[in-house]
Each structure stands twice: as structure tokens, then as C-alpha cells.
């Protein structure tokens, strides 16, 4: 899961996989802006077959946080 999320982040934010740490802050360290976040949410929805509200993802800050968020969503 963690690796999959990193792949998605690398793809959406045009980063190398090595640049993305487990605890990297998506906005501060990886430089995602609000439009990148929209793009990211869409990719996560497609990949995991989920519906994600824009507001829900706002409290998620790190790469590991995304994993926890997705796991919780899937129940």
C-alpha cells in the first residue's frame, strides 16, 4: 500500500520515488498545491475505488497519513 501511494505521488507530483519518504509532508516537503491535491484525490479514488470528499483529505499531511486514511475509508 505504502509503495502504491508513493508511486501515485511520484506520478502526480512529477517526483522521483526516492524523493518521497514515509513521513514526507505532502504539501511542505513534496510541494503539492491545492490543484495537485485535487488531482491526487482523483487518482486515489480511481486506484482504490473510493469516493473521497475534498474536505476529508485536508487533515491528512504525510505520506503515511494517506495510507492510514485509505485504510480507514475501506473499513
DSSP 60: -
The yes or no reply on residue 54 touching another protein (CB under 8 A) is yes
**CB–CB of 5/70 below 8 Å?**
yes
The answer to whether 33 touches 69, Cβ cutoff 8 Å, is no
Q: Please tell me whether residue 28 binds another protein under the rule CB under 8 A.
A: no
**For residues 37 and 75, what is the distance between their CA atoms, to the nearest angstrom?**
23
Q: Exactly one of 22, 23, 33, 46 is catalytic; which is it?
A: 33
Among the listed residues 22, 23, 28, 33, the single contact to another protein using CB under 8 A:
33
Residue 38 lies near another protein (rule: CB under 8 A): yes
Residue numbers of the site for another protein (CB under 8 A)? 33-35, 38-39, 41-42, 53-55
Amino acid at each position: 500500500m505504502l509503495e502504491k501511494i508513493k508511486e501515485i505521488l511520484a506520478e502526480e507530483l512529477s517526483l522521483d520515488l526516492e524523493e518521497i519518504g514515509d513521513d514526507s509532508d505532502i504539501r511542505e516537503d513534496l510541494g503539492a498545491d491545492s490543484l495537485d491535491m485535487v488531482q491526487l484525490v482523483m487518482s486515489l479514488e480511481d486506484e482504490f475505488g473510493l469516493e473521497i470528499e475534498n474536505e476529508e483529505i485536508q487533515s491528512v499531511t504525510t505520506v503515511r497519513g494517506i495510507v492510514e486514511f485509505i485504510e480507514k475509508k475501506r473499513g
